[in-house]
Structure 1
Amino acid sequence: MGESATRGAEQLAQLRWRDFTKLVLQAMHGRGYRPVIETGTPADGIPTDGSDILLERGDERALLSCKYGTGSIVSAQSLLGLSKSASLRGAVNVIVVTPGKFDDEAERIAVPQHIELIDGGELWPEVRPYVARPQDATPIAPAPQANAALMAWGGAALIAAVVWFIAQGLQPATEAPSEPTPAVATAIAASPSTPAKTSAPNAKPAVARSSEPYPTDPAVIERHRREAANAISTLFGVDRALWSTQSTLMVYLNSEQSDPINELCPLLERYPELASSRVQLQPPPGSTKAVRFKQCRTY
């Protein structure tokens, strides 16, 4: 994988689950696929529960499975049942996409089962045309002492471009807006080119806090809990997730090395009323590791 593809895959892995899926659908759109809007599926074709997406291209149907996570390796076990699920939904082929990588066993069993594997390095060239804005100017070569600042600027600029694209919907815009959208303006304001606080090299990207009031309808809150748990259950290293109480999310891990908190928090923080919930990371059966408790946001 080239350096550009590696950095691109890393940026994709930092997106929230829904935004990552939107970009993948845009890449599939470039291949001629369209999502099949089934009963209960939102108009954009992205299921709220994180389930697989049925695509169609003419008379051909394919099942798209997005294995979202940061720096994770998708195992052959994650592919089990996909071919059968595709057949039940009238699809012949399966497309599995991840910003991470696939292990050797997954690649071995994929071909005979008509499963196409697209890892982060292969995905980046497909989504790159939709992320970059054609009017962006070529940057001037920096002085040696500016290298560190440029690297930080590059990451912020790329994320800003991704956010800008997602704000436009699944179709690439033909003209740039006269003024930057609020999301892009926020990203630009945080870039090193503007005097601002300098973040630590390993600091997590800030998550924008919603200005909307918390929902008070118990049915809406319960639906949000269910959506968050279903989405978190699709993360690498997670066996399942469920709410043991209204404020505690039980996350059952399938590996002692699993630490999905970096991917988990953005999924919880999509819902302001759930962002400060306690997360209980339960090690797999037979593990000697202790139960861990995390909290994505404190007030």
Structure 2
Amino acid sequence: MFSWLLALLLALTLWGLTSAWLWLVKRRNTENQHGLAALAGMRWREFSQIVHRAMSEQRNLHELVNDEESADRRTSSDFLMEGKERWLISCKHGRAYRLGAASITEMATAQQLTGAGRGVLITEGRVERDGLAAAQKHGIEVLDERNLWRALAPFVPDDTRQAVVGVARREAMRQTGIAALGALTVGLLAGLGYQTTLHGDDAPPARAAGAAAIAPDKPPAAAAPVAAGTEAATPAPAVDDTAMAAEDLVQNPDAATLLRYQQAVSKKLAGTPGVISGIWLTRSTLSIERSADDATVWPLICREVERYPALRTTRIQLNPRPGTDEPVRWRQCSTI
């Protein structure tokens, strides 16, 4: 459950960051591009009226209506306006313009000839880097594709402005929906990956039973586990082979006798060539660690197990040899 909460948090974070960028950055860029296209699509008279209105209301400038030269410039791309000082407004109407230092120098010359102290260059196109440097040098303000729409948008007819803003908003909403699906997909993949890793870490090893039974190369003869079903019993004394051979082996021994039989088998197998150890996992399961192949060690294992009638049907677990990818196998020397 916790992993899915993290995945949900990741998805919400990604969606939030992407949405913020789409609305605060991408939407403004989209609106700017569509706004410039709308301005460039206007006739010169409409565009010049918007520029006149913007200069009048934003900068408190007015036309030189009493100036005969200014009257001729009303339909020209360059016109004079006046506030505290005279301004030359130069318009390059169209998106194809790429203006460099030469165009700025030409405007600076015209500014000197008309006695204007300030100048503004307006275009839906772009003023190149050298043109910007020249404009700064001559004190000419530049309104081009980077900032023209923001400057003129308040003075554009309402229907045109709302159409431009609506297009940008719808585009942002569409992209936000796509971003939500993408963030959800990333969250799901992250959650599934975390679950897979978690389950892989928690899964028991393939040889859990065999690994638990691995003992040192030469374990002590008496180091056999307690038989299943018995509680922490006091370890039995070491088995005397001579006494074991002499006693009467029974089919159904008591728990203490069965434990002695198992210890005797473990001791013999520990000294058998090709066998590393034989550890009793339960009273009827013997785990074998070996260094030789089945054909070599199996007769030797059965020889020791079948000496005791009570152990002949023991379930024997043959663990893979060290360094191999053999599967774990279970066999019996005798069946009932």
Q: TM-score, normalised by structure 1?
A: 0.41
Of Structure 1 and Structure 2, the greater helix share is in: 2
Rg comparison, structure with higher value: 2
Q: TM-score, normalised by structure 2?
A: 0.37
